[in-house]
Structure 1
Amino acid sequence: MLQTARSLWSLSAADRRLVALMLDAGALSRAELAERIGVTRSAITQMMASLDRFGLVEEEPARKGSRGQPARPMAVRGAAGFSAGVSFSHGYLDAAIIDITGTERAYQHRILPEPTPEAVAKGAADAIAAARIEAGIGTEELLGIGFALPGDFRVDAPLLQAHRYFPAFDGLDARAWFQDRFAERVFVENDGRTCAMGERLAGSGKGCRDFMAVHIGHGVGGGLFLHNRLYRGAHFNAGPLGTFFPLDRPRPSGQDLLETLRANGIDAADFDRLDRVAEDHGDIIAKWCDRAGRQLAPYLHHVANVIDPALIIIGGRLSASLLQDIVKATGLPQHASPERFAGQPPVVIPSTLGARAGAIGAASIPILHLLHPEPA
């Protein structure tokens, strides 16, 4: 009998570790799992029985070509749990439902009448209800709902220090505010770090323990995964690169791209218009991507020398093709050299989630909190 989503939060630390390993490494035999985490085969059998009670694992077809009894790899069963995520901008809202493996099950795009907490809550409720129908999960309990927020958090209180384009959110205790309006468990995070969480579970950072994500959105945000944990810093605001780029000069932010287009007489109200704009004004966007990549390059190199990540992912609110153009313009390698040495340029790659990174990342927050619980 499958357990409810609520009961998944009662998984033991060992169970969570095992599920996280299988998500990163893919299907593994019991012998491989025992070797990876350093326990006996009998211990793995007991742990698998525990996970099976939660409906979390399933056997894949036996591997052929091996001697003796063919090994039957074990994998995480995606339908064992679902999570929702919400991301928004000036004039639109996106909501996604993913399963516990990070696989997208539904995606909804909505016009946002105004960027206020009230409008976001209403739009999120409507979009998640529609996403439930699209995903075919009806009223099934969710692990939680994640909200990606444009801004940082106050040092002295759990209040949002919102981006200047979202004054209605400034000073809001966002988690408490949204929790009062949703029955599901609510999680909130800065949109840059949300982007990093989505990349870790479902994108270019899947299986990577140490990486940096750069979030090209209203500002130049970002997030860090260090030692397989989201690193928030002493005041919960680690990751953004925005301070390297003065606000009164051209900078590699998505908002700067929108303003560049408007300065050229092009109607670009928000990020969800960029694909249509690119059809007629691709030359202007290509020139901006080239400039943005060249602006980012030296700072990515400097930051990489400090934190030594395995790779840097360029993501955010832009499409995958624009992110690839920015990465190319950095001139930094997209593949690791066989000979590695200190001070070498970092490996920089584009997000595979593209503009869906916000909602997918927000939906990843509850799952990563489940599998990698943080110390109180």
Structure 2
Amino acid sequence: MQTASDLNLSERKVLDIIWRLGPIARTDIGPLTSLSTMSVSRITRELADRGLLSEEVHRSGGRGQPSRPLIIKSDAACSAGVYFSSRGLQVGLIDLSGQLLAHDSVAVEASRPIDVARAAAERISYFCKQEGIPEEKIVGVGFALPGDFIADRKRLNAHAMFPGFRGNDLEAELQAGINKPVYVENDAASAALGERLLGVGQTINHFFFAHIGHGIGGGLVLDGRLYRGARGNAGIIGVQFPNDQPRPSGQDLFAFLQKNGVEASDFEDLEFLRPQTCPPLKTWIARASAQLRERLWITARILDPNAIIIGGRLPFHILQEVVARVDDETFCNEGVDLPRPKVFASSLGPLAGVVGAAVLPLYSRYFISD
């Protein structure tokens, strides 16, 4: 009997469409996948037999048979994700339809990968008991790592705040602390993936995701797929902002606020700050937005995406302020009528990281992958 990991490319294409656009009729899937009506019918029947799809009955009130659009069978599988902050971890659990079933912040004393994995495993077990989910339903755990990959993706040029993640085989070190398959990605790429499958990027095939976390990074989706590059580092825009100068990053924001008498050392501390009542925050937003605008203009002209999505760890109200300053009628307007990319705030907001991490196992096992 085949398992989910045995899915071929056509089956993955069909599942990907239903995941993002469902409920959807079989007749609408073919044109979106270049598959024949007969092939779509056969594939969807086989996927339903494996317990991955179900039909949702729609009645229009008229005569005849009701329509039966296809949806992902949400309880067929679950996966978990882990995302980092300076105070610990965000751990989340999603089902196969992408619904966030549970999430929480977890304090971790030690910073070794095995300790992080053990803390995550404990919280995932708690979620399963809380939600009544058998642990065998968990197909994997995704880790959105705070840094960029070196050479063979086993090593990480970790952010300075996470020195324990500079080992020689991070995936193996994480795997030693958890009894589920481990999937690793850098935090910006995983957030871009989450946005593609569950956020505003669901219907956008080409976009650049600017990720504001402790640092500043990016993820790239081309033709509907996460583009990782030769070494898994496509999208690094942080190099355009020297570390010894002001830059549009979380760490820079905390340092600026503290210098101006505002106590803030992590993103949770920003939830109740408003630029209207916090002049240092307003000043930082104006400066950081101008920096992002200039570099994203260049990035947009090099990559030619349909859209730029700005997200990461900033609270949604601050993110919206940044996007409003980046996106106006003059952005990417050279006066020669070139198409301008749309600019969006991440619809997942600060949850994009943990959702994106949780998506990693599902993406690898069920949907369009490398």
TM-score by length of 2: 0.91
What is the one-letter code of the residue matched to 1:246?
P
CA shift at 1:272, angstroms? 2.1
Paired amino acid for 1:370: R
Confirm or deny that 1:352 pairs with 2:334. Answer: no
Gaps of 5+ in 1: none
Per the alignment, in what secondary structure is the counterpart of residue 206 of structure 1?
helix
The CA distance in 1 between the partners of 2:172 and 2:8, in whole Å, is 27
CA contact (8 A) 1:28 1:73 kept: yes
Match of 2:40 in 1: 44
Contact 1:88-1:120 at 8 Å conserved across structures: no
Question: What is the Cα deviation at residue 320 of structure 1?
Answer: 1.3
Residues 267 and 113 (structure 1), Cα distance of their counterparts in 2 relative to 1, 3 Å cut: farther
Q: Does the 8 Å CA contact 1:151/1:161 hold for their aligned counterparts?
A: yes
Check conservation: 1:93, 1:112, Cα contact below 8 A: yes
Alpha-carbon spacing, 1:230–1:157, altered in 2? closer, same or farther (3 Å): closer
Structure 2 residue aligned with 1:263? 259
Taking the aligned partners of 2:349 and 2:343, their CA distance within structure 1 comes to 15
Which AA in structure 2 matches 1:302?
I
C-alpha displacement of 1:35: 4.2
Determine the C-alpha separation between the residues in 1 that align with 2:77 and 2:120: 20
1:56 to 52, 57, 63: 52
Alpha-carbon offset, residue 63 of structure 1:
4.5
Return the offset for 1:349.
0.7
User: Which residue pairs with 1:362 in the alignment?
Assistant: 357
How many angstroms does 1:299 deviate by?
1.2
> 1:115: Cα distance to partner?
3.5
Secondary structure at the counterpart of residue 79 of structure 2: strand
Report sequence identity in percent: 38
Task: Report the 3-state secondary structure (helix = DSSP H, G, I; strand = E; otherwise coil) of the residue aligned with 2:173.
Answer: helix
Q: Offset at 1:328?
A: 0.7
Q: Which residue in 2 is equivalent to 1:27?
A: 23
Deviations 1:181-210 (A, max 9, x none): 222110011111111011111112113211
The residue aligned with 2:222 is: 226
The Cα of 1:55 is off from its aligned counterpart by 1.4
Mean Cα deviation higher: 37-46 or 314-323: 37-46
Output aligned runs, 1:191-340, within 5 Å: 191-278=187-274, 282-332=278-328
Letter matched to residue 193 of structure 1 = A
Cα offset, 1:54, TM superposition: 1.9
Partners in 2 of 1:171 and 1:66 — Cα distance?
64
Higher mean C-alpha deviation, range 6-15 or range 343-352:
6-15
Structure 1 residues 118 and 280 mapped into 2: Cα distance closer, same or farther (>3 Å)? farther
Give the superposition deviation at 1:286: 2.9
Deviation of the 1:355 alpha carbon:
1.2
1:287 to partner: Cα distance: 2.6
Deviations 1:202-241 (A, max 9, x none): 1121132111101101111110011222111122211121
> CA 1:252 to 1:193, structure 2 compared with 1: closer, same or farther past 3 Å?
same
307-316 or 147-156: bigger deviation: 147-156
Cα–Cα, structure 1 residues 335 and 49, in superposed 2: closer, same or farther, change >3 Å? farther
Task: Find the residue that maps to 1:325 and give its secondary structure.
Answer: helix
Q: Aligned partner of 1:359: which letter?
A: V
Partner of 2:366: 371
> Aligned to 1:58, what secondary structure does the other structure show?
strand
1:129 deviates by: 1.8
Provide, for residues 262-300 of structure 1, a one-character-per-residue CA deviation record: whole Å limited to 9, x for no partner: 112332222222214559964332332222111111211
One-letter identity of the residue aligned with 2:83? S
Aligned in 2, Cα 1:115/1:321: closer, same or farther, shift over 3 Å? farther
Match of 1:163 among 148, 159, 165: 159
> What is the CA distance between 1:28 and its match in structure 2?
1.9
Tell me: CA distance 1:327–1:159, structure 2 relative to 1, closer, same or farther (3 Å).
same
1: CA distance, partners of 2:276 / 2:308: 31
CA distance in 2, matches of 1:335, 1:371: 38
Number of residues of Structure 1 aligned to a counterpart in Structure 2: 369
1:245 CA displacement: 1.0
Gap change, CA 1:293 and 1:157, over 3 Å in 2: closer
1:59-112 per-position Cα deviation (integer Å, ceiling 9, x unaligned): 112242778544221111222211100011221211011112221111111123
